[in-house]
Structure 1
Amino acid sequence: MVSGLAEQLLRGYQLEVASISINRIILAVDGSAPAVEATKYAVALARCHGAKITAVFVDSDGEEAVVPEDQWEFLAKKSKRIRYGLAGLELVQRYGKAYCLDVKQLLLRGNPVKQIVDTAEKEEADLIVVGDTGLTGIKRIALGSVAEAVVEASEIPVLVVKGR
């Protein structure tokens, strides 16, 4: 019976070898437990596919901007949220060094969803990886508000990783 349904679904399609190419991963971090779990998935996928990772922390305070790295420490002294975000970026960097991965770090300002999706487009990413809830969002039953909005706004696949 199920095979009949499968036949209907596949009618007119040739079965091909299932394969995907992941060359660039955008990883959204904020220092939360779900973001740490998302980091592990992004690193594992990057290792399997030989992909590059662009790790992004978005500070929702302020107008849309890329924050130069020489300002990160100054901002961290003023904001606990930024300290957590920078810790998330540092974790990705450490994984990158441990596994010889190409990791780029960005501290951005503005709307987190817009910045994550725009960065994926600019970097020509193949995948976005996010944790299901973060430090700044109100927890929802299924997904964090940022993760849910990224899934809706993105034109590329999004992997949402549940925290432990």
Structure 2
Amino acid sequence: MIANYSKILVPMDGSKEAESALARAIELASEAGESGVLSILNVIDTRAFQNVASFDDTMVEAVSQETRRSLEKYKQQAIDAGIKNVDYLIEYGSPKTLIAKDVPNEVDADLIVIGATGLNAVERLVIGSVTEFVTRTAKVDVLVVREEA
């Protein structure tokens, strides 16, 4: 028996894999009909700013504005595909914890649709894979989507 998912969370990072995940999440939300809710998430990893010597609030604001523009585009893509209940969230902090634990609880997600990692084996060893962490620790089902050829 195939589960019916109605509250779908899709994290976006601008990668091709994430865009493939969004396309699949839109399909699944469409299958849920009127009860389908799609939450599009972007996590701004504030740890990346800690190493910048000239770090200030204007840098975070610039990144936030660019993120908002991207998420508006993704939201419109879902609306154009017929999804009526679409929202987006911008969170700040550790992508792993926010995607795997905090945001799914916040939006009451029953499925996370996430792009497969674009990292190579060495990068995964050094910094870890967000996708791998999410699939291992999330309390809800996780669908990993590979970039379409």
Same fold (TM over 0.5): yes
Q: TM-score, normalised by structure 1?
A: 0.69
Q: Are the equivalent residues in 2 in contact too, given 1:25–1:52 (CA < 8 A)?
A: yes
Q: Secondary structure of the residue that 2:46 maps to in structure 1?
A: coil
Aligned to 1:69: none
Q: 1:38 aligns with which of 13, 16, 21?
A: 21
Give unpaired runs (5+ residues) of structure 2.
48-57
Equivalent residue for 1:149, pick from 128, 133, 139: 133
Q: Which aligned pairs between 1:3-152 and structure 2 lie closer than 5 A?
A: 18-50=1-33, 51-61=36-46, 75=60, 77=62, 79=63, 83=66, 85-86=67-68, 88-101=70-83, 102-117=85-100, 118-133=102-117, 138-140=119-121, 145-152=129-136
Structure 2 distance, partners of 1:25, 1:157, is 10
Q: Which secondary structure does the structure 2 equivalent of 1:155 belong to? A: coil
Q: Aligned AA for 2:90?
A: L
- For residues 110 and 8 of structure 2, what CA distance do their matches in structure 1 show? 6
Indicate the percent of aligned positions where both proteins have the same amino acid. 28
Tell me: CA distance 1:90–1:74, structure 2 relative to 1, closer, same or farther (3 Å). farther
**3-state SS of paired residue (2:4):** coil
> RMSD across aligned C-alpha pairs, in angstroms?
2.6
* Aligned residue pair count: 130
Give the Å deviation of 1:34.
0.5
Distance 2:87 2:103 in 1: 12
For 2:24 and 2:130, how far apart are their aligned partners in 1? Answer: 18
Q: Bigger radius of gyration, 1 or 2?
A: 1
- Letter in structure 2 aligned against 1:35: A
SS in 2 for 1:38: helix
Q: Which amino acid aligns with 1:139?
A: N
**8 Å contact kept, 1:35–1:88:** no
CA contact (8 A) 1:139 1:145 kept: no
Query: Aligned equivalents of 2:69 and 2:88: distance in 1?
Result: 11
Q: Separation in 1 of the partners of 2:86 and 2:120?
A: 29
